[in-house]
Structure 1
């Protein structure tokens, strides 16, 4: 077991369906995230952070394993996390940590809404969670299940209830360091009524408020729901403030690494018939901040970062070795000033809505789809066709698809080759990618 006096505690603070541009860090003018903004000033702002799969279960599988979803078979919702793939809980547990999970899981069998069988809990020992929290809770009704499968009805607004449970956990006496994965549903919509239930009085604060460019241009259902969504973001940031304050009051702040991120974003039915499952930045770009001892203050790495990079970063920041079987790369060497010669891009895999792949670079968004592929049962394909190209410098809201423009054929060709390399590096077979037609 690690020496408790020298080991660093670790916490993941995960929100659900939160766009990057809800934060002051990314220019949102509404003051929704003062606690996250402050955490970034005192820690590390990962300004260019992207999910590697814009849907709940696959993105969460990557955050648990540091692996791409297609590679571990968890490429869509309803596929449980394979029990033979090591998780963060396994890694920290092997190092002598207490491991705990509180909140939404969404990595068990498709027919499981509430209690999760022990073999599907990813190796976590302390357990207070629901597999599909959106179906076992509402804004002011929260039911979570303990490690014995017993229900616990928690009082208050849902995000507050989960935060209270987390503060209770970190305040307990223990002889070992802890790893806590804290998973909120906010600001995800409430499925049963397709609504964004902010705390009482919070929706009203943001009626008619600032609207991001893509939503202003495309609409979707943002006019109806953006105010509630903003209210949920505001409250979860207040929960972050309460949690980090508790770490300080308990004397744990200087010994704890905290990672804040979200599983994916939200495009408000502008790109398809729901909220994610597209490769536009509204779906794939998320806020990400790290804080903790020896990570530096005010650091802001400029490279593009994938969800698969966050588990190795968390392990190394806590002083643990990074396993070679993870697909991602730790950011810690970069924060120490070491050179990073890897290409500055991220690979995105898409399922359910389509079998697709995308490459996000600093300037370009290039994506492909597999014609006729079964997007529910097929993790990948041998043949894809060009689907879109966006110049993010000229068109940050991704409104003008350039994929068929003769003026950009050379760009498409270069990105096509680059995408194939990334797919192969992620363990996929080299695909054929062609122009449509």
Structure 2
């Protein structure tokens, strides 16, 4: 690739782009990565990392209340949003620095400006400079979708919600997916009155029905309001700065914050991909093959911009596979079977493998084992919130097809359980494992 300025030019320094850049450089490639905003991408800067820190911060509301039942003389505590916000943003900056340092340590050049594709082997930077590369990798991720209706400009998305000047007292959230339910839990725990508005009657589509129904029941019991089968008509800014949210078939809802959590779309607009011959699907995602190659042989894509599975660990795996295959002479592909996922709601839920409905659709029938219980901590705290663990098993081979759960530390427990599902272990293997008592996780080996 001596005829080009770089062996690899990456557009987008998110999780997938950073991994691909540093691994390709470690394999000996000359690499540059362009980032118009901040190194780290959605997950680090305005996604899963700062959100999880807010989840931790919000959970102290319950922990402080529960502590009194465990003998701690906890006084009434006031919450200070700017302190949490600023500490979270400081941590984001720290991690961004680590990402940048890692790239530098591997000899990757960071180009801090917007880049667009101007040919199969050419990239044009915002400054007007053009560079060439033997291979171009698109790793720009996705961006929140924002509905359009009168007054919709008064709402914010997950990109801006981490930067609020003050904690809103009344929050309306549009959407029913994981972002909507996570922020509903966060704002509720921090003391806001929360109303979640969804255009259908289902939250968390794609997750196991029993598990998501349990989250709905718990959320309603906590005081989160749900409005289903409604659409937005308009939003009006009031004289005091608050909002009045008008919905079809419902009285207007006063709010201090309107958060749009209505999905994410690949961030391909304005990248020049069509002019270079890169084929996009109907949602604007880059179509790629199993080796992450687009319709143009020299242009690849990984992560959310391909709209396969929008999860950070998946983007990282794709970036690794791309770099190893193209530059490391170690070809391999990402296995998308049994990818675990979690919703960091209050309480959290997590799952891996087939849901009960998916299992029935594929095999006609499945064996289902459940455990519906109160965690010990909740019992002593006087909290009626119940956990639910569910195992979906093949009707003939006894192989565990899926595990789904809701309750404290579900994501932490599921990560280990996902190994068993991925390995194709049977229900008998769980039954043969001695329980670790007393723990919540022991319920997985006690299912009968």
Q: Do these two structures clear the TM 0.5 threshold for a shared fold by scoring above it? A: no
- TM-score, normalised by the number of residues in structure 2: 0.36
Give the structure with higher Rg (CA). Answer: 2
Higher strand share: 2
Higher helix share: 2
- TM-score, normalised by the number of residues in structure 1: 0.37
